[in-house]
Chain A
Amino acid sequence: MWEYTDKVREHFLNPRNVGEIENPDGMAEVGSIACGDALKFTFKLDENNKIQEAKFKTFGCASAIAAASALTEIVKGMTLEEAQKVTNQDIASYLGGLPQEKMHCSVLGQQVLEKAIANYRGQTVKDTGEKIICECFGVTDKEIEKAVRENNLRTVEEVTNYTKAGGGCGNCHETLEGIIARSLKEAKPTGRPRMTNIQKIRMIEETLEHEIRPSLKHDGGDIELIDVVGNRVLVATRGACATCKAADITLKQLVETKLRELVRPELTVEEVKH
């Protein structure tokens, strides 16, 4: 059984904005019935060019329905420029997180939004020379590169969890490894100054203190920095976090994303029992 948050459950049982807008300003479809996930998204703009109405139809599991419902709620009231910046992480966070194996549901939501905006602007996304990498699920190189970049994916398994690519016959695994390696290389020269170990530890401590702890403490949990070995950040969870089954996801998604964003992109977070 999946560990769905209450918010996922609630959006699954009472999805918002189900349906299809007649004469929409923008519309898009992603996925297919063969893949087991498909999403149709339509939106209408108001006189200020903000999204006035957004509706969806989904074929998929509980998290696919919840992610689509969340997407429509997130983008309502946004300009297209704002909506364009919505990432799959935003959708997942809105729902209080998704199981790793279900992250592709949030990616599907982000993709349909991007395609619908392109549709409004009269562009077709697939004209940009995209290549299908995963034949089983029809996933393109651009989609994989984007997911790898925005979610700091490091393994084929993670890429499969986020995009489904590689989840079928497995023939594309080598190509996926190549994309990951390429993206890692590109990610390195971020222009950040080199820092000493002391500086790095200090920055990690500060990030934990200001960015992570407040939200954990809110739920009765806490986190402690145990050690920094190279780029491995070893932490231990305390209080409610230590017994929470969702803690793994909390750590990976919250702590790692923040540390990579604010300290160094190559950091990985590991939980140790201490």
Chain B
Amino acid sequence: MKTVYLDNNATTRVAPEVLEAMLPYFGELYGNPSSMHFFGGQISRRLQEARQQAADLIGATSGEIIFTSCGTESDNTAIRSALAVNPGKRHIVTSRVEHPAVRALCAQLAREGFRVTELPVDGDGLLDMDQYEKNLTADTAVVSLMWANNETGVVFPIEKAAAMADERGIFFHTDAVQAVGKVPINMEKNAVHMLSLSGHKLHAPKGIGILYVRRGKRFSPFMIGGHQEKERRGGTENTASIIGLGKACEMAAAKMEEENGRVRQLRDKLERELLARIPNSRVNGDRLQRLPNTTNISFEFVEGESILLMMDEFGICASSGSACTSGSLQPSHVLRAMGTPYTMAHGSIRFSLSVYNTEREIDFVIEKLPPIIEKLRNMSPFWRGDDRVRASQ
């Protein structure tokens, strides 16, 4: 059975070109870039190239790129660093829809005595910028807001938010894991101080990430060890993965247009056709301020895990924000923060595309999903075969 992979916000396939670029560094080129001999030292030159490739993707300079092990490490390092270099300030501003890498960390910091403000979002998942501004106080040490939401693809106005924090001398961090390679990011033209990026979301392997730290900004390392990454992150470099990530960044820059053209059209077709063919369905999240590859659709009166497992029978891979798939008993925190009704949240499915998806795959999903929803609805005690529903409580 062929796999139709529409779960690229979870992880992406390693691009064949990336794999090819990495292989020698798992084989004969195994040297340590810190070594004095040529055999190891030659790797260091390749790492520098990769650092430049990554910097070029986001309009940074290579000195501002710190390689880490993943997006989560970058997020943890950034926020803890901002607190460490601002010892007098005890306030953190973030949002209710952040990835657990930020959200769980902020919850931990709240237990450690910091005051955490989680900004709400509206029904479309958008921030209220007036409320944001009101929460920037003299005691605020750091703001951490995601550039794009992993579940809905909704994009926050990060450039504007960063400028507002910067004016007040507040550290601004953004988790841009879902945004990099999909929306244009130019660090030269924004006031973001720290930015997290993850390799495996843009066709590099898992286990490699980047923390961008703006030049001149004070920084306190998280991993203490050797002098690697200019003593900002200890630990022998993950050479193959860094080189792979460099290649992936180079490719992402070249494919940004395709991502916003062909991929967006495929996403729009999928969304349009599913909404047209399946009654009682709707899109979660603002449809304009959104990543080009993501759509989050709710199918009322059916449960997400059941939809996923029936799609799995056809090799179709997607995600759900339903309670049964979230590992807890409540639907996703993002959909709850948006006030999505439970009848909708339990039946939410996220499709996230990549440049590797084809129109045939999209047509396949458009063909297979409507009968699945119909089968499950015919099993559901709430479905009456039309738009009306009996009071469920």
Q: What residues of chain A have their CB less than 8 Å away from a CB belonging to chain B?
A: 9, 12-13, 15, 18, 29, 32-40, 57-62, 64-65, 101-102, 136-137, 160, 164, 167-168
Per-residue contact bits, chain B 309-353, to A (CB 8 Å; 1 contact, 0 not): 110010000000011110111110000000000110010000000
Interface centre among A37, A59, A62, A102, by most chain B C-beta atoms within 10 angstroms, is A59
Q: What residues of chain B have their CB less than 8 Å away from a CB belonging to chain A?
A: 301-306, 309-310, 313, 322-325, 327-331, 342-343, 346, 378-382, 392-393
B392 / chain A contacts, CB cutoff of 8 Å: 32-34, 38
Q: For residue B302, which residue of chain A has the nearest CB?
A: A59
**Do A59 and B380 form a contact, CB below 8 Å, given A34-B342, A38-B392?**
yes
B325 / chain A contacts, CB cutoff of 8 Å: 61
Once the chains are docked, how many angstroms separate the CA of A113 from the CA of B358?
A: 48
B329 touches A33 (CB 8 A): no
B393 touches A168 (CB 8 A): no
B306 touches A12 (CB 8 A): yes
B329 touches A58 (CB 8 A): no
12 inter-chain pairs at a CB distance below 8 angstroms, sorted by A residue, are A18-B379, A29-B381, A34-B392, A36-B303, A38-B382, A57-B380, A59-B346, A61-B303, A61-B324, A64-B303, A65-B306, A167-B329
Once the chains are docked, how many angstroms separate the CA of A160 from the CA of B327?
A: 12
Interface centre among A33, A38, A39, A58, by most chain B C-beta atoms within 10 angstroms, is A33
CB proximity of A135 to chain B, nearest CB, Å: 13
A57 / chain B contacts, CB cutoff of 8 Å: 379-381
Once the chains are docked, how many angstroms separate the CA of A33 from the CA of B304?
A: 12
B306 touches A40 (CB 8 A): no
B381 / chain A contacts, CB cutoff of 8 Å: 29, 38-40, 57-59
Task: Please name 4 further chain A to chain B contacts, defined as beta carbons within 8 Å, in addition to the given A13-B310, A40-B381, sorted by A numbering.
Answer: A13-B313, A33-B343, A64-B303, A167-B328
A101 / chain B contacts, CB cutoff of 8 Å: 327
B309 / chain A contacts, CB cutoff of 8 Å: 9, 12, 62
Secondary structure type dominating chain B contacts: loop
A15 / chain B contacts, CB cutoff of 8 Å: 379
A160 touches B329 (CB 8 A): yes
A137 touches B379 (CB 8 A): no
**Do A59 and B301 form a contact, CB below 8 Å, given A36-B342, A39-B381, A160-B329?**
yes
A59 touches B342 (CB 8 A): no
Among A60, A62, A164, contact of B329 (Cβ-Cβ < 8 Å): A164
**Do A36 and B322 form a contact, CB below 8 Å, given A62-B309, A164-B329?**
yes
Q: For residue A40, which residue of chain B has the nearest CB?
A: B381
Once the chains are docked, how many angstroms separate the CA of A32 from the CA of B345?
A: 14
CB proximity of B309 to chain A, nearest CB, Å: 5
Once the chains are docked, how many angstroms separate the CA of A63 from the CA of B144?
A: 38
Among A29, A58, A102, contact of B379 (Cβ-Cβ < 8 Å): A58
CB proximity of A105 to chain B, nearest CB, Å: 9
B378 touches A60 (CB 8 A): no
Once the chains are docked, how many angstroms separate the CA of A38 from the CA of B330?
A: 14
Interface centre among B309, B327, B331, B381, by most chain A C-beta atoms within 10 angstroms, is B381
A168 / chain B contacts, CB cutoff of 8 Å: 329-330
CB proximity of A115 to chain B, nearest CB, Å: 14
